Structure formats: structure tokens, C-alpha cells
Amino acid sequence: MDDLDRRLINRLQLGLPLVRHPWQALAAELESSSTELLDRLHELLEDGMLTRFGPMFDIERLGGAFTLAALAVPEERFEDVAEQLQALPEVAHNYRREHVWNMWFVLGCPTEQGIAQTLQHIETLIGLPLLNLPKEETYHVGLYFPV
């Protein structure tokens, strides 16, 4: 990772400029070209330095629903269960926690009924009880991790 990669990552954490050609605006700001910045972004994603780049939607404002859920997965099944969850289009992401409930995931569906149906489907598919942790209140935390 060189200086331009660092500056690009730092700047992208603040969001894209809300202009007709955001990559050209970023290129001028970072003294580069839009092609170079996009190439570097793709390389950072390919090599795993960045795991995701994309918009964040407020699914509830769009009429949908989401929840946080957890499973207590035996270690010998952990990778298989993770793959099963990742194959479901409703699962945004899943991750390991050092806890009895060791696999956590975020579920997004068009409706609350879709959440209930998908959670039931996951319990049946995986064969393990599930902990559903729906949001009670929204908090916005602006994070910035300079690199």
C-alpha cells in the first residue's frame, strides 16, 4: 500500500462527492486520474485490503426490514454453516464472535413477514436454534479509521 492508496482509503471513508462526476472530483482532489483511482480501488478489493465498497441503504426507509441474528454453531460445522448462510440472498454478512452464540449475521428482507419466514427457513436448514435480535433504536456512529 502506497501513499495514494492510503489517501484514497481515507478519502473514501468520508463518502463520494455528490457531483455528476465524483471520480473526476476525487482525482482532482487526490492529484491523480479517475482511471487510476478506480484501478486502485479494484486492486484493494481484489487483494482483500478492502472487503466492501458500496452504498449503505436505510432499508426501513425503503419499506424493508432487517434484523441481527445469531447461532451457536459447533466448531466442526462452523465453515459449512457459514457457507450455507452466505448462499442466502437475504444474508447481508455473517461473522464469528468469541461467545456461545458464535455466528452472527444480518438479515435484510422486503417485509417483516419475510424476516420471520427467512429465520424459520434458516433454523430448518441449519438445524440449530436461532437468536433473533431486532433493532430497538437507531444510533448513528460516524467511524473514521485513518490509514
Q: What values do phi and psi take at 115, rounded to 5?
A: -60, -50
- Whose CA is closest to 23, among 12, 53, 43, 47? 12
Q: Which residues pair with 68 in a beta bridge?
A: 106, 133
- Catalytic positions: 93
How do 103-109 and 65-71 pair as beta strands? antiparallel
Alpha-carbon Rg of the chain, whole angstroms?
19
Q: CA dihedral defined by 57, 52, 124, 113, rounded to 10 degrees? A: 0
Measured between alpha carbons, how far is 30 from 78 in angstroms, rounded to an integer? 43
